[in-house]
Structure formats: C-alpha cells, structure tokens
Amino acid sequence: MSYDIDFIRSNQLSAENVDKYLESEASDTDPHFISKELMNEIKVELAKRGFNFESFEGKEEDYLELNFETYQICMFNSQIAISLPYWDVNSSNAITDEVGIISDVLIGKGFTGYDPQTGELFRGKGESISTDFDRLNKQVNEHFSAGITTGKRSEGWRLIKLGVFFVIAVILIRVIASLVSKFF
C-alpha cells in the first residue's frame, strides 16, 4: 500500500477528465506527451537539487524510474507518479519536504498534480499534499501496528500449541512403540 501522487503534463486537467489521461498512452503528437528528453531533464534537475536516487530505464523508450531510499518516481510517456509506501520514515518532515520540492520541479515543467486519494488537483508551486499524506500515513501505521502486536501474540500462541502437540505426539509414539515391542 502506498500514497500515490500523479502528475500529468496539461493545464487542461480537471476532476472530470483526469481518468482519461491516467488510463491512456500518449503519442508524441499528444500535448500531454512526456518525451525521454523531458524525463532526463527532470532527473538532472532533481540530482542538481541534491536528491540521491538510483535510476532504471525500461527497455521501452517511454519509461524511467527513480528509486529513492524509501519511495520512487515512475515516469511514463503519459504521466509521472510518485509512490510513497506507508512507512514511518515516509511520514517525516524531511520526506514531506522532498515531495514538496519534487512537486514544485514538476509543476515548474508544466505538470498538474493529482492526488487520487482525495481527488484534488494542484497546479501552483508550494501547494502541498503533505497534510493528507501525513494524516493517512498515521492512520495506516496505527492500523498495522495494532495488527502486528495482535499478530505477534497469535503467532506466539500458535507456536506454543504446535510445540505441545509435538511433545504429545513424541510421547504417544514412544508409548505405542513400547507396547508394540512387548507383543512382538
């Protein structure tokens, strides 16, 4: 599970047509087409701003992935997506600030941001998804933290039961073996 933010190179984006852009490929004649050159410009701009990431270029001409330590950016010919897994580290102010800078770089290159979790669009530099991401990330962490605690207790009881079963099974096998040996 992750918090995703999509960026589409269009100032014509609206809540009514966003799915059309997200669900389609873009050809080089489409106004929202993202060229490999633009993908590389964004990559260079982020590196100049001090971001550390590993990049992966797909065999297809229309794919570039930037893997940061705890999240990733996937660039396609029709959209760019930032994917932030719901981890404690991703709810830090440092990650929120990084995502804000990345968003500003993309908006500066003519992209419109779309937050599919809230359905909100953002076009201006400095507009942030951090409040929604932070709130949702905390809710998810609380949910999974409670599940992990319960899961650990359940796992412990399961192991104890399994151990008792094996001890009883060994005792029964020895008793049966000794009885069989007395009769034969």
pLDDT in tens, 32-72: 888 999 999 999 999 999 999 999 987 766 789 999 999 99
Residue 153 lies in a domain: no
**Of 73-77, 104-108, 141-145, 158-162, which range is least confident?**
141-145
Q: What is the mean pLDDT of residues 130-146?
A: 57
Is residue 131 very low, low, confident or very high in pLDDT (cuts 50, 70, 90)? Answer: low
Residue 89 lies in a domain: yes
Is residue 144 very low, low, confident or very high in pLDDT (cuts 50, 70, 90)? Answer: low
Global model pTM greater than 0.85: no
Which range of residues forms the domain containing residue 29? Answer: 2-138
CATH number assigned to the domain comprising residue 43: 3.30.310
Q: How many CB atoms lie within 10 A of CB 32?
A: 19
CA distance from start to end of the chain? 62
- Edge-first strand order for the sheet with 112-115 is 54-57, 63-67, 72-76, 80-85, 2-8, 112-115, 120-122
Which residues, 6+ apart, have CB-to-CB distance to 14 below 8 Å? 121
Residue 45 lies in a domain: yes
Q: How many CB atoms lie within 10 A of CB 67?
A: 13
Structure confidence at residue 64 (pLDDT): 92
Structure confidence at residue 146 (pLDDT): 58
Residue range 88-127, pLDDT digits in tens: 777 777 888 888 899 999 999 999 988 888 888 887 766 5
Residue 169 lies in a domain: no
Which residue bears the tokens 């001890």? 167
Phi/psi at 34 (nearest 5 deg)?
Answer: -110, 110
Residue range 12-32, pLDDT digits in tens: 888 888 888 887 778 777 888
Residue 24 lies in a domain: yes
Is residue 81 very low, low, confident or very high in pLDDT (cuts 50, 70, 90)? Answer: very high
Beta strand spans in 86-134 (E): 112-115, 120-122
Residue 20 lies in a domain: yes
Q: Please answer whether residues 25 and 78 qualify as being in contact, where contact means their C-beta atoms are separated by less than 8 angstroms.
A: yes
Considering only CA atoms, give the Rg of the chain: 26
> Which of 39, 145, 40, 48 minimizes the C-alpha distance to 88?
145
Residue 144 lies in a domain: no
Token pair of 85 as six digits: 């897994």
Q: What is the mean pLDDT of residues 132-150?
A: 56
Residue 148 lies in a domain: no
Q: Count of domains in the chain?
A: 1
